[in-house]
Amino acid sequence: MTRTNDFQLNDPRIINGWAFFDWANSAFALVITAAIFPGYFVAITDETVHVFGIEMSNSSLYAYAISGSYFLIALFSPLLSGIADYGGRRKFFLKFFTVMGSVACLSLYFFKGMDQLAVGTVGFMIAMIGFAGGLVFYNAFLPVIVTEDQYDRVSARGFSFGYIGSVILLISNLTMIIFYDRFGFPDQGSATRFSFLTVGIWWIGFAMIPFKRLPSDEKQKDTPDLLKRGAQELRKVWKAVKHQKDTKNFLFSFFCYSAGVQTVLFLAATFAEKELEFGTSELIGVVLLLQLVAIVGAVSFARLSEWKGNKVALITMLMIWVAICIVGYFVQDKGQFYAIAASVGLVMGGIQSLSRSTYSKLIPEETKDPTSYFSFYDVLEKVAIIIGTFSFGFVEQVTGSMRLSLLVLGSFFIAGLLILLTVKIKRGETRMG
């Protein structure tokens, strides 16, 4: 192992400590944003709410809360990227966003109904910002603690830790909510709110492991204009991409279908609760089904990609996503929704991993700064989430139909599919062109 400063590269103890951050914060991504909180939010609030004098449905407000969170995240992304790349204070800001997110998550325990609507909405938004902000610095640690030949293996370890940890907590919360009386809770609502506490404690508690093991921040003699540096990196990538037809078209395609993918993942639970009257325990069951099928889907589409190439695999998945949105418009019972959830799981993990690997093949081989290209990619995905979730909420607010919102998401997938057809992926792909 190579020694740098006061730690060694590829140190197993540091690597496992880094991976435990994924174990810690993935609980928020799965339990709060996907499984429990969306349905709880819709169930305990009035169907119609008034915010700043504007009338909207409770599910539209939830969609807007996600949009607002990601708007702030995208707005400050150049600054965060600048700090991560040049500021030398990765660990400080990793701690800052983790504490902010976990404390905000704990505050959701006090969200009991309409009287605490502001607590629930603002607490959720701050927790989202803490989660996304922490990921910037978590990812920035990877090239600091391991050599380049270990990136894929160590990154996969983090993903594995996150998946295992979040599923363990989700199953524990499901047990507690179903058998609430045996755990001493007066009703399911109290058990559900307690699950928010478990996520916050889990998040900050297990984060202490990476806080202790990750290398300390480097002392900077002078602090550059980090906002300017981060923004310059993004502008530099865009200037280069404008002259790279296939890379540019792929990014446009990725932007369109990401708006659909991320919105479905964020708002599927609110659709199930509101349109099909799913209970909290049923929603958790749907998410667990989705997670299990996602493993099969990721492996299957990785094999398809090896056999026929990234482009064929992505086109196949986008066609499935379009079908999901169209069928979702007509779904009437819970059994049908379980089938749709399984279909989402089938294409959920595959499209995210293959999108990133496809983009890596389109980055010019001679580039000296691939990190900037991926910073641009991440910001683009955040903006796509803003557009997708806002569109979903706005269409429902105007039409009163979440089903029509699904068709709008379908149009994002169709646009992404049509643009992807124009992309030629040369490196590593001999079949497509």
- For 75-118, write each residue's pLDDT tens digit: 887 777 777 666 667 888 899 999 999 999 999 999 999 999 99
CA distance 54 to 49: 8
* pLDDT the model gives residue 391: 96
Q: Which domain holds residue 408?
A: 234-426
Which residues lie across from 8 on neighbouring strands?
Answer: 3
- pTM score, whole prediction: 0.85
Tell me the Ramachandran region of residue 367: left when phi exceeds 0, alpha when psi lies from -120 to 50, beta otherwise: beta
**Looking at the structure, do residues 219 and 241 belong to the same domain, yes or no?**
no
**Are 205 and 240 found together in one domain?**
no
* Boundary-marking domain end, from 188, 204, 224: 224
Q: Count other Cβ atoms within 10 Å, centred on residue 68.
A: 18
Burial 325-335 (b: 16+ CB within 10 A, else e): bebbeebeeee
Q: What is the pLDDT of residue 182?
A: 96
204 and 130 within one domain: yes
Note whether 242 and 200 are same-domain residues: no
Please report whether residue 120 resides in a domain.
yes
Q: What is the CATH number of the domain that holds 381?
A: 1.20.1250.20
Residue 229 resides in a domain: no
Of 182, 98, 100, the C-alpha closest to 134 is 98
Do 203 and 255 sit in the same domain of this protein?
no
State whether 25 and 44 are in the same domain: yes
Specify whether the CB–CB gap between 314 and 358 falls below 8 A. yes
Residue 78 domain-assigned?
yes
Q: Binning pLDDT at 50, 70 and 90, where does residue 427 land?
A: very low
Q: Is the pLDDT of residue 426 over 80?
A: no
Same domain, 246 and 219: no
Residue 5 identity (one-letter amino acid): N
Neighbours of 279 (CB within 10 A): 15
* Residue 265: φ, ψ to 5°: -65, -40
55 and 175 share a domain?
yes
**Do residues 208 and 248 share a domain?**
no
- Does residue 431 fall inside a structural domain? no
In a domain, 433, yes or no: no
Query: Is there a domain that residue 117 lies in?
Result: yes
Of the candidates 24, 30, 38, 28, the one whose C-alpha atom is nearest the C-alpha of residue 290 is 30
Q: Specify whether 330 is located in the same domain as 369.
A: yes
Q: For tokens 């008034």, name the residue.
A: 50
How many distinct structural domains can be found in the chain?
A: 2
Are the C-beta atoms of 403 and 328 separated by less than 8 Å?
yes
Q: Of the residues 190, 224, 258, which one is the last residue of a structural domain? A: 224
* Domain final residue pick, 224, 246, 263: 224
Same domain, 341 and 403: yes
**Domain for residue 432, yes or no?**
no
Domain assignment present for residue 369? The answer is yes
Residue 238 and residue 219 share a domain:
no
pLDDT (tens digit per residue) in 137-186: 888 788 788 887 787 678 778 878 988 999 999 999 999 999 999 999 99
SS3 419: helix
